[in-house]
Amino acid sequence: MAYTDHYNITDDIITHLNTVVPGITDPFLTSRYTGLVAISAVTVYELAIKEIFIDFAQKKHNVFGTFTEGHFNRINGRIKNKDIKDDYIKKFGEKYLRRYTRKLNEVETRILTVQRVSLKNSYANLLNWRNEFAHGGNMPTHATFNEVVSSYQLGKELIKCIAESMQR
């Protein structure tokens, strides 16, 4: 399966909620839908990231792929950019880490220039919003439904950088 196939779950939720949320006047209900999107987004990110690393290792060697699959069964939401760089990509080799860092910085610069928003900050914010909602039941009052959706879309670019970097 392509790593991008995992996005379908959250994309479908967003497509549906885009027709529902604008008509909701209850802020509590809107915050719950916003939290649902944050949780779904981070879940599909985790699945996509696992898929990228397992596919990479599997292409290198079947045993390596099996080992990597076992290792990534235990990441449990550890998908901050720092974790991705230091705990995952770096272990595959410095050349992949350099490639990822370069690609991510290029995309960050492009998005900052065009959209005037930081990809890295948007990705980190989404992870934080998800954690606040999942572990505390609270959606930060400053995070709107549209901001969560926008951060989710931007986060896909970060994951694309991982996929493009983890090529032989």
pLDDT over 70 at 29, yes or no: yes
116 DSSP 8-state letter = S
Mean pLDDT of the chain: 93
Average confidence (pLDDT) over 6-23:
97
Angle at which helices 119-136 and 94-115 pack, to 10 degrees?
100
Q: What span, in angstroms and rounded, lies between the C-alpha atoms of 17 and 30?
A: 10
Asked whether residue 6 carries a pLDDT value surpassing 70, the answer given is yes
Comparing 26-30, 75-79, 100-104, 125-129, the range with the smallest average pLDDT is 75-79
pLDDT at 106: 98
pLDDT of 149 reads: 98
Please give the Cα distance from 149 to 18 (Å, whole number): 10
Note the pLDDT of residue 100.
Answer: 98
Q: Pseudo-torsion of CA 101, 104, 106, 112, nearest 10°?
A: -130
pLDDT value, residue 103? 98
The pLDDT value recorded for residue 66 is 85
* Tokens describing residue 17: 């909620």
pLDDT value for 140: 67
- What digits encode the pLDDT tens for the residues 58-73? 888 888 878 888 888 8
pLDDT at 155 over 90: yes
Q: Residue 74 has which token pair? A: 């235990």
- Percent of the chain past pLDDT 70, that is, above it, reads 98
Average the pLDDT over 16-43 and give the result.
95
pLDDT of residue 69: 83
78: left (phi over 0), alpha (psi -120 to 50) or beta: beta
- pLDDT score at 62: 85
Is pLDDT above 90 for 109?
Answer: yes
Check pLDDT > 80 for residue 147: yes
Query: What is the C-alpha R_g of the chain?
Result: 17
Q: Which of the pair, 140 or 68, is modelled with greater confidence?
A: 68
Q: Which residue has the tokens 């930060």?
A: 140
Query: How far is Cα 42 from Cα 69, in angstroms, rounded to an integer?
Result: 19
Nearest to 35 by CA among 158, 140, 151: 140
Cβ contacts of 105-112, under 8 Å, gap ≥ 24: 107/157, 107/158, 107/160, 107/161, 111/154, 111/157
